[in-house]
Structure 1
Amino acid sequence: MKTYDVAAVVSGGASGLGEATVRELTARGAAVTILDLQEERGKALADSLGGHTTFVRTDVTDPASVQAAIEDATGKDRPLRIAISCAGIGWAQRTVGRGGEPHDFDAFVKVVTVNLVGTFNVMRLAGSAISQTEPLEDGERGVIVNTASIAAYDGQIGQLAYSASKGGVVGMTLPAARDLSTVGIRVCTIAPGLVDTPLLGALPEEARQALSAGIPFPKRLGRPADFAELALDIVEHGYLNGEVFRMDGALRMAPR
């Protein structure tokens, strides 16, 4: 895709990876709709960016909620061509605890529902809207970028639910790209490693340095801006499709 004179949706766009992506898309001229449950943060971000950036309070697991956000994006004065999913949650618990207690069933279902089903929900509804636009060069109508994690490959002790959800996102990538090839939509996934999001920001500095030391190179935590840059590289590079890109500084997670 050679132009950012388009509409875009970013789920989880009020903070972390999503916020960085919203900022970069807006800086390049896209009309962005922020999908998030964090109403105060989302509205503040949209107000600070101004222009065509809007916020719609969105539960990615609710079809009607996502559809309302997609309608906001398609109602702008340019076609919807970009959908980037960053919404996600985590959970840490062993399959069976030290005392023999089983993993919390509802917690597992919630993580998979938000991270995997939510990503699917945004992809299917955004994809439907993008498919109705006029084709560009090579017949391309748009691009979808989803977010997995290196936990999909290197899940640690206690990451069962999170790894399962992100493994599902990885598994959707190729079939979704094949499905959507008929309407000219590319699909790729980014699998970040340790990124300095608000979650890691809550850790003590000593712990943050220890995490950084385990990354082969560069020896630092990833930055949300790194993710945004890669997401937009995928948007711009019209021959990238059906692929998952690890963004991890060559990190391979140990069991714990």
Structure 2
Amino acid sequence: MDITGASALVTGGASGIGAAAARQLAAKGATVVVADLQAERGEALAEEIGGVFARVDVTDTAAIEAAVTAAAEIAPLRAVVNSAGIGWAQRTVGRDGEFGSAHDLEAYKRVIAINLVGTFDVTRLAATAMSRNEPDVDGCRGAICNLASVAAFDGQIGQAAYSSSKGGVVGMTLPVARDLAAVGIRLNTVAPGLIDTPIYGEGPDAEAFKAKLGESVLFPKRLGVPDELASMVVETITNSYLNGEVVRVDGGIRMPPR
């Protein structure tokens, strides 16, 4: 699918995998709406790639709808990447046997609200706008790529909330792709492994920690970089025969319990 002259929407687009995807989509000729809560970073990236920044909290339906509308007003919206998300780590049961030490339920709900419900909300609204596009030669009106995680399959101790949210993104891939086929929209999911993003910090200690983490990767024995993930994200958008699929990009890692 050719996205030259189209618009694209990337949530969580101000940093990490989202920013790398925004740059690569812009290089393919799309005008990218960088949707994020980080205004300073988002505005700087939008200026760099000739795009537009939109302040979006993916738990706010009105903000999502405004960003989708803005993208569709620039040019036909043909590409969407759902990269916004948060992490959380806590054991299900505390060590002291007290109810108050059990997993924070509000934290669980928040992770689900952002990572899963937010992804679906963006998907349903963006797909609605895409459904108005003129189809290409394959009858395609647009494509959506959602970001999951290998934690959807290999969730570690303490990852109940995060794995639940990303497992939900994986689980909705095929049924939503089947729904959207009726209006000529493809949907795929990319599941990253251990990726070198700012979450690990900076400096010698952070580099040593990342090197240790990389030892658990099958090959190559290092963390992935955002551009490696973004290239697969862009492939799911531009490859007209890729649909309803979940692709792990993880160096072959299978996460241990801890």
Q: Within the alignment, does 1:26 sit opposite 2:23 as a pair?
A: no
Q: Deviations over 1:26-71 (max 9, x none)?
A: 1221011011011111111112223xx0001001111100000011
Query: Could you tell me which of 43, 49, 52 is aligned with 1:54?
Result: 52
Query: TM-score, normalized by length of structure 1?
Result: 0.96
Counterparts of 1:145 and 1:28 in 2: how far apart (Å)? 16
1:82 maps to what in 2?
79
Q: Deviations over 1:57-91 (max 9, x none)?
A: 00111110000001110111x21100100000000
Count of residues paired in the alignment: 253
Query: Could you tell me which of 85, 94, 98 is aligned with 2:95?
Result: 98
Q: Is the 8 A contact 2:190 2:233 kept in 1?
A: yes
The 3-state SS of whatever aligns with 2:69 is helix
CA shift, 1:231, in A, is 0.8
CA shift, 1:206, in A, is 1.8
Counterparts of 2:201 and 2:17 in 1: how far apart (Å)? 13
1:212 maps to what in 2?
214
Q: How does 1:1-256 map to 2 (within 5 A)?
A: 1-50=1-50, 53-76=51-74, 78-100=75-97, 101-202=101-202, 204-256=206-258
* Counterpart AA for 2:197: T
Structure 2 residues not aligned, in runs of 5+: none
The 3-state SS of whatever aligns with 1:48 is helix
The 3-state SS of whatever aligns with 2:182 is helix
Identity across matched positions, percent? 55
* Counterpart AA for 1:81: R
4+ aligned runs moved over 4 Å, structure 1: none
* Counterpart AA for 1:65: A
The 3-state SS of whatever aligns with 1:143 is strand
CA shift, 1:3, in A, is 3.8
The 3-state SS of whatever aligns with 1:93 is coil
* Counterpart AA for 2:88: W
CA shift, 1:200, in A, is 2.4
* Counterpart AA for 1:241: N
Counterparts of 1:235 and 1:10 in 2: how far apart (Å)? 12
Query: TM-score, normalized by length of structure 2?
Result: 0.96
The 3-state SS of whatever aligns with 1:91 is coil
CA shift, 1:111, in A, is 0.3
* Counterpart AA for 1:7: S
